[in-house]
Amino acid sequence: MKDQFEKILLAVGFPPGKADTLARIFMENSLDGVYTHGVNRFPDFVDYVKKGHIRIDGEPECVHTFGSLEQWEGNLGPGVLNALRCADRAMELARESGIGCVALANTNHWMRAGTYGWRVAKAGYIYIGWTNTIANMPPWGATKPRLGNNPIVIAVPYRDEAIVLDMAMSQYSIGALKQKKMRDELLPVPGGYDQQGNLSVDPSAILDSQRVLPIGYWKGAGLSLLLDIVATVLSGGLSVARITAQRAERGLSQVFMALSLERYSNRALVDQIIQEILTDYSSPAADAGQGPVLYPGERVLKVRQENQTGIPVMASVWNQILTLA
């Protein structure tokens, strides 16, 4: 899978280093089971490159520094490469002064938000990061999309791996709704409203109405707004409204924070907490639809293991990718 991605990326004009990294991230996202931001998304990425929304030679650069807070310009480069650079820079700042924050303007979709959480937490830091998006969720009390689902990631080191919370502000990401629709499945809990204004578990009805449900109703709508404001104000970049006005999801604003656990923080407490939360919960709850108690990221590790013998890909998706080479 990685070789195929790399071949296509080289063919559309990426230099070898960038093609290698991008191909690896798209493969790893798929290996971890996040197909919506891995193999299933790859054709859209190539399309955005061909349309010029993503600039092959766009490089991120630091434009302002104030202590442990930096403002970077993404120059519309590939979102994955920009985000990797800024996540690494946040770690450098944290290594120097405990905490580092990089705000990035004019970047592109970073694909899987969790990518940067796994990276930073596996390097031994706490990570907090988020992105804004094109409008895809109505404010609470409204019917038309005006907020992004603005995924946030919080990640901490855990044993040799990490605990990684990767969540959009909508109950389901657009990618998850599309995947459920593609598989002709209903949602386990309501994910939005149908066109008649009723809460619905039908992904098609929700995608049609464009009224996805924020997590916690008014709460997720509020959190989405604040994440957009902070990313936009710190980076000096485009807000959800301004991204949406372009009619293409490009020029996003993002925040990357790393916190050092090097000096005096007590990393062993993570183990203690996980043990104390999960103990006695080895059997699932009585309620239907609730699986065993897992920490965020635990399922990813299982899928990563399962997929070592091969990553499942829908034939239609792979056939489309073969035409891109």
Site for a second copy in 61-120 (CB under 8 A): 64, 66-71, 94, 96-101, 103
Q: According to CB under 8 A, which one of 35, 72, 193, 256 is a site residue for a second copy?
A: 193
Nearer to a second copy, 189 or 325 (CB): 189
Q: Active-site residue among 37, 53, 64, 109? A: 37
Question: Residue 74 CB: number of other CB atoms within 10 A?
Answer: 29
Q: How far is the CB of 297 from a second copy (least distance, A)?
A: 9
Q: Is 37 a catalytic residue?
A: yes
For a second copy, which residue of 246, 272, 305, 316 counts as binding (CB under 8 A)? Answer: 272
* Rounded Cα distance, 5 and 42, in Å: 8
Listed ranges 8-16, 20-28, 36-44, 155-163: which one lies at the site for a second copy (CB under 8 A): 155-163
Instruction: Answer yes or no whether residue 287 interacts with a second copy by CB under 8 A.
Output: yes
If we measure between CA atoms, which residue out of 118, 112, 99, 98 comes closest to residue 160? 118
**Which residue in the block uniquely carries the two structure tokens 């296509």?**
8
Residue 322 lies near a second copy (rule: CB under 8 A): no
* Shortest Å distance, C-beta 219 to a second copy: 5
- Mapping DSSP to helix (H, G, I), strand (E, B) and coil, where does residue 284 land? coil
Dihedral sign from CA coordinates of 119, 124, 130, 131: negative
Q: Count other Cβ atoms within 10 Å, centred on residue 197.
A: 10
Q: Which two tokens stand for residue 211?
A: 């009224």
Measured in Å, how far apart are the chain's first and last C-alpha atoms?
12
Q: Does 325 bind a second copy (CB under 8 A)?
A: no
* CB-CB contact of 128 with 120 (8 Å): no
Residue number with CB closer to a second copy (4 or 173): 173
Window 4-63: residues binding a second copy (CB under 8 A) = none
Catalytic residues: 37
